Amino acid sequence: MSAAPEPRLEQQPYRWPVPPEGGWTADDLDRIPGLPPHTELIDGSLVFMSPQTAFHGRAMRLFENALLDQAPADLDVLREMTIKLDEKNRPEPDVLVFPVGANTGPRQTWFRPEDIVLAVDVVSDDSVQRDREVKPRKYAAAGVRHFWRVEADEEGSRSSTSTNSTPP
């Protein structure tokens, strides 16, 4: 062990991914090296998530656990998996409910919209417009049957849930 710097451990400058002409595709999301966790694709643009608040983390845990406790045996619940809505959109809801048969294995990184029974998004300060306006519209257009949006009050001590349902 030495105090001398080791070149292989020195921090390399980060190179932001440069979008191709026409924007990124849903399949690109799995191939772009070095993306931060929970990166979404909205309209061909990469959307990076800000750090989560305590309310956000607790709300996700509450919904995941409650839904797991109540779901019938043919449904499963996961946190933070993307839905490949179309070629240019792959959002990541906070909690998903889907048929067990939609799970393709341990390397799966996304679900098809028709397999989603419920998508839950907990609104963050930086995602208000996306979670209130953009995602519900895109989920409904792609065939996601049910969407819950969870928001904290001003003090962050209570939440309200809005629903969006489309026929299967």
**What pLDDT is recorded for position 79?**
96
Is the pLDDT higher at 70 or at 168?
70
Looking at the chain, the number of H-run helices and the number of E-run strands are 3, 9
Residue-wise pLDDT tens digits, 45-86 = 999 988 888 999 999 999 999 999 999 999 999 999 999 999
Give pLDDT, residue 168.
46
Average pLDDT over residues 1-10: 61
Question: Six-digit token pair at 161?
Answer: 């849930």
Q: Say which amino acid occupies 95.
A: V
Q: How far apart are CA 164 and CA 145, in angstroms?
A: 8
Output the CA angle 138-142-144, nearest 5 degrees: 90
Q: How far apart are CA 119 and CA 41, in angstroms?
A: 16
pTM metric for this prediction: 0.85
pLDDT attached to residue 15: 78
Give residue 101's pLDDT: 97
CA neighbours closer than 13 Å in the CB half-sphere of residue 64: 14
